[in-house]
Structure 1
Amino acid sequence: MSSTPATSPRVVVIGAGIVGCSLADELTARGWDDITVLEQGPLPAPGGSTSHAPGLVYRTSPSKTLSAFAQYTVEKFSALRADGQSCFNAVGGLELATTPERWADLHRKAGLAASWGIEGEIIGPDACLKLWPLLDRDRVLGGFHTPGDGLARSLSACRAQTERAVARGARFLDRTTVTGIEQRGGRVTGVTTDRGSFAADLVVSAAGFWGPVIGRMAGIGIPLLPLAHQYAKTTPLAELAGVNNPRTEASRPILRHQDRDLYFREHTDRIGIGSYAHRPLPVDAFAVPRYDEAPAMPSSYPFTEEDFAPSWEDCKTLLPALAHTRVDEGFNGVFSFTPDGMPVLGESSALRGFWLAEAVWVTHSAGVAKAVAEWMTDGRASLDLHECEVSRFESAQSSPAYVEERAARQFIEVYDVIHPLQSMEQPRPLRVSPFYARQLRLGAHFLEGGGWERPHWYEANAGLAATEQLPTREPWSARHWSPIAAAEARATREKVAMYDMTPLRRLEVTGPGALDFLQHMTSNNLAKKPGSVTYTLLLDETGGVLSDLTVARLAEQHFQLGANTPADLDRLLDHAPDDVHIRDITPGTCCIGVWGPLARDLVQPLTRDDLSHQALGYFKALRTHIGHVPVTAMRLSYVGELGWELYTTADLGLRLWDTLWEAGRPHGVIAAGRSAFNSLRLEKGYRAWGHDMTAEHNPYEAGLGFAVRMNKGDFIGRDALVALGEPTRRLTALTLDDPAAVVLGKEPVYVNSGGCAAGYVTSAGYGYTLGRCVAYAWLPPLAPGTPVHIEYFGEKTAATVVEEPLFDPKMTHILK
């Protein structure tokens, strides 16, 4: 908790739903007392999504961050009391499987729960029936039971947190409609309402599905789409008579029937049913009626019985007792979806002091509020939030058409079994490299990331795969994979391959103060001669790894950075002095990685400059020409082989590809995809930021101490690193003992045969050079040779801690 500031900043929170109330409570708990919460509806039930939410809190998610949000929500609401009872009813959760695919997925979900420290158990049909006697046992294959999940009493939680915040100095004003966001010089200065203006140093939009309305007032696009979701209540069931206390309403677990996009909860002697099975029902946030003009409340639209009819039949099939009831009441409730299904959090780079806490469900509400409050008061959250930051969306992903299409698809897929590599099908292609036409001709199999089409393998290399001796993969790990990847990896190790590296973010930093600025911002020493390249880290004040960068000093005052997300650009711009200029050059440039033992044989004849190891060593850069194409050649290798990253402008990209391709024919050059690329980088032990390490980890425990130069002078995070003790966890390399076994990431890892998971897998992939799967995992410090087990779909797979790097520890493949 931060210390109380001498003068608390003036904060205006827009929206008194569960997020706004939770945020006011969290901010005042941290000593900020000048908090004004504005709400257009009446309190305590103002008519937004919180007012109609059924209150389901399931904690298990593929996102570690979302799971942590939900866990805090459970902890906090369990301790809150209103009307003499807890604001959380821990009835538990029960997810059912009625198909083999779902049954397998529940085992995977149980692994996720174990990875994130959530109690859960796979149970059989009889145990499911004991928890929910109304089930048709013959239709149930089994279930996943999480006893700590349950029902949030969201309006009660709002009242309880409001009372605490008010006692600490906050004020809540209902019936106050925001009409404008005041700003001056790129900073927010206040909020205009129909009841006057409120000066503010910080404004937080926690307006739920009205977020786009508030965003437009601020001149900011908020990437969310309001959608209506059906919820119905049955007439009373004789089987529930006398079962439940009317005050707590429910005693049986929340029930999910995801094979039919349905969930169920008890309302004393009735059952509430939520359905995602219907068509997407988008709502125009700008046309939502005011509270007094709405038939029920602004977030509640008329029930469309025709959309619910198929779901009602599915309900009666699963719960036969419902055949003796009917739908007594229902509504289409509005709430928010984003293009990737994650919340939208953080300060806007376009309007400083304007914060977002949007697209947040009750499930994650208290956890989000805590994280945003930490971020506002301390400058960082205790959780990694990169999946939620508003800056994560590329400009190409910010059009209204893109947001609407992807967010509607998120609604459709909310209960689908989603593979970790699965890409949405539309709108695609959106961003393509200059090599796209050539890649299509080679039969590229594309997946998507950041809006980019990324080749994962090429059908043109299928003939090379015929000689590969690979174990048969089980169906899940075989999705979005091809044995061609093995052939492409082998060709990279034995000959030469071309990789499309265009999606790698490229930033240009120039100006008289560029070196001093980058020295302060990053952990490694960049005070080297032009032509040098340095791997370095962006750290926060606690030493957490915000990103990793590759920095090439091209001239005294000219640097090119290889970065990760748009947040890297925002972070640098936030700190840049007037004599430093930063711009994103990614859209106007492209890159080809040429790697393999024959890389120099391919590239050297195309340039008049000396590319020998003596002339252009490892981590060096040179501006040269490849044929007719001017390039910046960087002697880097993310695959552990000799070669270069060759950068040029987008207009010359196709010419560069064709020049290299023709010159490479005598050497057996191939185009290779990201599936092979990932295998090769894992064998070499190269980290992937956002997967292997995040702001929750420091460089030493992540195995990146070599990128820290404590003697170079001051830099962000240095003081925190000085104070660190011995690591209590490390990013640990593992190999699976069975050459046929494969894991994909996020699985729990056990050091002992029993007990809780000791850690979880970050990145994993088959090492074709090594002939077995490689996995990296966060674990307590363990000696090489230590046996561990990774749980994959409910089965314990033996693995062993190994020394890094697994491949070419003496660097003989690169340094030649």
Structure 2
Amino acid sequence: MSADFPSQADTVVIGAGAVGCSVAYHLSELGAEDVVVVDQGPLPVTGGSSVHAPGIMFQTSPSKIQTKAAYYTSRLLSDAGVYDEVGGIELARSEERMDFLRRRVEWAESYGLPDPQLLSPEEVTEHFPLVDEDEILGGYYSPTDGRVDGISALQWYIAKSDGADFYGNVEVTDLDVAGDSIGAVETDRGTIDCDRCVIATNNWGYQTAQMADLDLPIAPVEHQYVVTEALEELSGVDSNVGSNTEGLQVPGNGDIQEYMSEGPHRPVGRDQDNSLYFRTHGDSLGLGSYNHEALSVDPDVMGKNSEESQASVHSFTSEHWEKATHPDREKSPKQAFDELLPATKDVEYEATENGIFVFTPDGMPAIGPTHVDGLWSALAIWWTHSGGYGKIIAEWMENGVPRLPSGPVDTGGVHVRRFSPHAGEKNYFVDKGATRYRQVYSIVEPRWQPDKHRGLRRSPFYDRQQDLGAEFYQSGGWESAQWYDSNADLVEEYEAQIPDQDGWQSINRSKIEAAEHLHTRDAVSMFDMTSFSSIMVEGADAGDFLQRVCSNDVDIDVGDVRYSLLLNEGGGILADVTVVRLGAEEYMVTTGGGNSPGIHGGWLEDHAPETVSVTVEEGAKSTIGLWGPKSRLLLQRCTDADVSNDDFPYFSAKQIYVGEVPVIALRVSYVGELGWELWAPTEYGNRLWETLYEAGQDLDVRPMGGGALESMRLEKGYRLWGTDIDTDSNPYEAGLGFAVDLDTDFIGKEALEAAKAEGVDAEITPITLDDSTDILLSGRPVLVDGEAQGYVQAADFGYTIGESIAYTYLPTEYTEAGTDVQVRCEGELYDATVRNEPLFDPGREKIIR
């Protein structure tokens, strides 16, 4: 630590908690120098959530990146000597929870956690005798789970960060942003000029980002924790309470930090059926609860340390401990703990708190480069994942590639720019954060949809879709039809080709999705693509710019369409896009919906020179996918343009009129059938739908939803960014080498040349189930000779080919067609076979006709 306060630094990290210290440490490990870390509290006990947290680390998650980040964190802190690897047990008090714990085992197996186990009640009490085994049905045991000593870990980070200086008791008062770039961090001790800045203030993340005029959706919420008096059942266990924080400056009442610094000697535990968790603190028990109504904190009034309290700790509210206030839980926290851990009944509490931590609207972290050049986000991260995300962010900042030692990671689900424009409205994200708090330990169904904040973004077709009985799913605020009740009559027509689905896989599904799939193969359907985005790239240097950022050769003629990829410096796939040349200096780049406009559009904006205009037209165009063997006949009825194969070939574009509606028509299809994407200004959207729908009645034109789209694209082997491809895969691994032209110069080329020369270790491949029609679920392990070699990326039933399909990445020695594999899903073991792709229409006869 330096005594002189700096006036300049290459990088300023705001926040010296678990995440800020991790980022600084990992930047130092990568050779970065001149890093300054500041915090408003004293060091290392800053008053943030890192020092009031009990440090419990359960590593298993349905999210690969969360699991990988957690495992890296546990290994790093274990090597540092600040991690107690006592194991973790998640308990089941219901059959539904036992099913959930089986999923935990499968996720752990898929993502590489060692030796995940299901335990009987008797085996649980062998690990943790205080549990009443009559109250439980079993448990999930992860032997490398445990607890981090927060204060010791922060001290270790600070001592080991050779390239960084740390300053406590420094209040950041403003962020200087000029020309959309960070220039300086203003503090109450002076201004620090800088090239880069990392916001790692977590509970204060919203406030800090506001200083740069960014509306980051970071919602603080309280949850409860108590530490019991010494228990007779734990007598004989050594305790250092009273000396753990000796010599440290501790804001407010130091009881919480004193007890949090006392390590466990038994596995950490969770009773998710009652939203509870627990661990030993020497001869005491620590009891944590999410089992109360959401106690949201106004992100604008997150406080500071005082003589009486720490900034992120509020007074304990006994009513939320003693009464049942959680909307989904029947028992109060105290009642549930008394039943599960009888030793806690009628004991006194030595320390209590309502500790504050944060949620984003989707419950995932918010990391990466923001809209302000040089300003990075490292927010909504728990101790569990802090080491991993510190490594990922540091690699991203230094080398342009988010990665862990195990390899590149997929960042689409955690990227700070994934949020839709409305997500920054405070009432919205605070309420969504409260919902995520409510769901922390809930069993959330596949394809679950929220009840609140619906109808925010609607295509011009919305009213017509409602009339047709659309079942709307929400993504990025858009209401997108998953299927249409008006197509229920098709189910009977195609009944023989639609197998029943049971159990967890069947939830929130409809046979109508299958019928729409099959009808599209036979006739013609209209798919609402309005949530997809067009990005206009214009200017004298537009072509050269796109050539620099696209992996394929996009030096194309006006009217041509080219599929390409955007890559990072490591060759990871940032996006797959369609590039359309509309004029000499005008291009349209199309990408998906959801988080694509913010991430993909933002990346193009960031890299464009001043001579090129990039406009992300999120919602500016309404788009219909017109697909099926009768699509040409229908479209020709509605336009004077020649849409024959000779005049309008596959992967070409025309600006035409459909009725009176001006349309950019692309001869492309995401379902493997003849078809077009019809892009029109939003104000014309309703007329576009009306024109096509009315003209196609005798052709039996039907609306088609997202469920049919997913099964059709898997039959054809078309990739979906964020599901099959992301920054954790390169084009050769993803089977997209055809979208790479190494004769051109583009970002990521050097990495791809090296990858091609070395050869890939794993490739994406389709597998089909041998003797089952069940639909598999993502994240489930794919086994060869009993060992997990990959996991399910995406899966559905292929209604045209009559087989259950899954896509997975496998080591290349197992990707030959005919190789036998198995998939473990929902406790069952399925035999499957590796197949060549595409499974449907390999000769492309359906598309090119």
Change (3 A) 1:771 1:169: closer
SS of equivalent to 1:197: strand
1:495 to 514, 523, 526: 523
Shift of 1:169: 4.4
Distance in structure 2 (CA, Å) of the matches to 1:574 and 1:659: 39
2:313 counterpart of 1:300: yes
Distance in structure 1 (CA, Å) of the matches to 2:59 and 2:221: 22
Amino acid at match of 2:571: G
Change (3 A) 1:529 1:289: closer
Distance in structure 1 (CA, Å) of the matches to 2:777 and 2:451: 22
2:152 counterpart of 1:156: yes
2:664 counterpart of 1:663: no
| Superimposed CA distance per residue, residues 201-257 of structure 1 (whole angstroms, 9 cap, x where no aligned partner) | 212111121112211222222210111111112222211112466586312211111
Change (3 A) 1:431 1:244: farther
What corresponds to 1:101 in structure 2? 96
Amino acid at match of 2:376: W
What corresponds to 1:480 in structure 2? 508
Distance in structure 1 (CA, Å) of the matches to 2:9 and 2:832: 52
Map 1:217-296; keep pairs closer than 5 Å. Answer: 217-243=211-237, 246=240, 249-293=263-307, 295-296=308-309
* Matched residues, number: 797
Map 1:800-811; keep pairs closer than 5 Å. Answer: 800-811=833-844
Map 1:638-717; keep pairs closer than 5 Å. Answer: 638-711=670-743, 713-717=744-748
1:400 to 411, 426, 440: 426
What corresponds to 1:342 in structure 2? 364
Distance in structure 2 (CA, Å) of the matches to 1:194 and 1:26: 27
Amino acid at match of 1:761: V
Unaligned runs of 5+ residues in structure 1 are: 1-7, 81-85
2:588 counterpart of 1:560: yes
2:372 counterpart of 1:378: no
What corresponds to 1:512 in structure 2? 540
SS of equivalent to 2:437: helix
2:767 to 723, 734, 738: 734
Backbone CA RMSD of aligned residues: 1.5
Contact kept, 8 Å, 2:203 with 2:302, in 1: the verdict is no
Distance in structure 2 (CA, Å) of the matches to 1:9 and 1:761: 45
SS of equivalent to 1:330: strand
Distance in structure 1 (CA, Å) of the matches to 2:690 and 2:106: 46
2:42 counterpart of 1:29: no
Amino acid at match of 1:682: L
Amino acid at match of 1:330: T
Amino acid at match of 2:353: F
Distance in structure 1 (CA, Å) of the matches to 2:176 and 2:581: 41
2:122 counterpart of 1:89: no
| Superimposed CA distance per residue, residues 664-718 of structure 1 (whole angstroms, 9 cap, x where no aligned partner) | 110111111110110000000101111111111111111001111122x211111
Amino acid at match of 1:311: P
Map 1:100-499; keep pairs closer than 5 Å. Answer: 100-119=95-114, 120-165=116-161, 168-243=162-237, 246=240, 249-293=263-307, 295-309=308-322, 310-349=332-371, 351-382=372-403, 383-467=409-493, 468-469=495-496, 470-499=498-527
The answer to which of 376-385 and 57-66 deviates more is 376-385
Contact kept, 8 Å, 1:533 with 1:621, in 2: the verdict is yes
Distance in structure 2 (CA, Å) of the matches to 1:395 and 1:503: 13
Distance in structure 2 (CA, Å) of the matches to 1:352 and 1:621: 35
What corresponds to 1:5 in structure 2? none
SS of equivalent to 1:631: strand
Map 1:480-629; keep pairs closer than 5 Å. Answer: 480-564=508-592, 565=596, 566-629=598-661
Distance in structure 1 (CA, Å) of the matches to 2:798 and 2:239: 57
Contact kept, 8 Å, 1:55 with 1:362, in 2: the verdict is yes
The answer to which of 238-247 and 332-341 deviates more is 238-247
Distance in structure 2 (CA, Å) of the matches to 1:31 and 1:436: 53
Contact kept, 8 Å, 2:536 with 2:588, in 1: the verdict is yes
The answer to which of 150-159 and 622-631 deviates more is 622-631
What corresponds to 1:83 in structure 2? none
Shift of 1:327: 3.8
TM-score, normalised with respect to structure 1: 0.96
Contact kept, 8 Å, 1:444 with 1:455, in 2: the verdict is yes
SS of equivalent to 1:723: helix
Contact kept, 8 Å, 2:84 with 2:263, in 1: the verdict is no
Shift of 1:473: 1.5
Distance in structure 1 (CA, Å) of the matches to 2:348 and 2:101: 31
Unaligned runs of 5+ residues in structure 2 are: 1-7, 241-260, 323-331, 404-408
2:788 counterpart of 1:775: no
- Indicate the percent of aligned positions where both proteins have the same amino acid: 41
Distance in structure 1 (CA, Å) of the matches to 2:359 and 2:425: 15
| Superimposed CA distance per residue, residues 478-532 of structure 1 (whole angstroms, 9 cap, x where no aligned partner) | 1121011111011001111111111112111111111111111101111121111
Shift of 1:729: 0.3
Shift of 1:471: 2.9
Contact kept, 8 Å, 2:472 with 2:479, in 1: the verdict is yes
Distance in structure 1 (CA, Å) of the matches to 2:589 and 2:119: 51
2:820 to 787, 796, 807: 787
Distance in structure 2 (CA, Å) of the matches to 1:720 and 1:329: 54
Shift of 1:342: 1.3
Contact kept, 8 Å, 2:9 with 2:192, in 1: the verdict is no
SS of equivalent to 2:505: helix
Distance in structure 2 (CA, Å) of the matches to 1:632 and 1:182: 42
Shift of 1:475: 2.1
Shift of 1:397: 2.2
Shift of 1:186: 2.6
What corresponds to 1:746 in structure 2? 779
The answer to which of 525-534 and 461-470 deviates more is 461-470
Contact kept, 8 Å, 1:227 with 1:336, in 2: the verdict is yes
The answer to which of 527-536 and 466-475 deviates more is 466-475
Distance in structure 1 (CA, Å) of the matches to 2:298 and 2:51: 19
Amino acid at match of 1:493: R
Distance in structure 2 (CA, Å) of the matches to 1:718 and 1:193: 42
Distance in structure 2 (CA, Å) of the matches to 1:346 and 1:171: 22
1:723 to 720, 735, 754: 754
The answer to which of 109-118 and 29-38 deviates more is 29-38
What corresponds to 1:3 in structure 2? none
Distance in structure 2 (CA, Å) of the matches to 1:364 and 1:729: 26
Amino acid at match of 2:746: F
Distance in structure 1 (CA, Å) of the matches to 2:476 and 2:300: 28
SS of equivalent to 1:607: coil
Amino acid at match of 2:104: K
What corresponds to 2:251 in structure 1? none
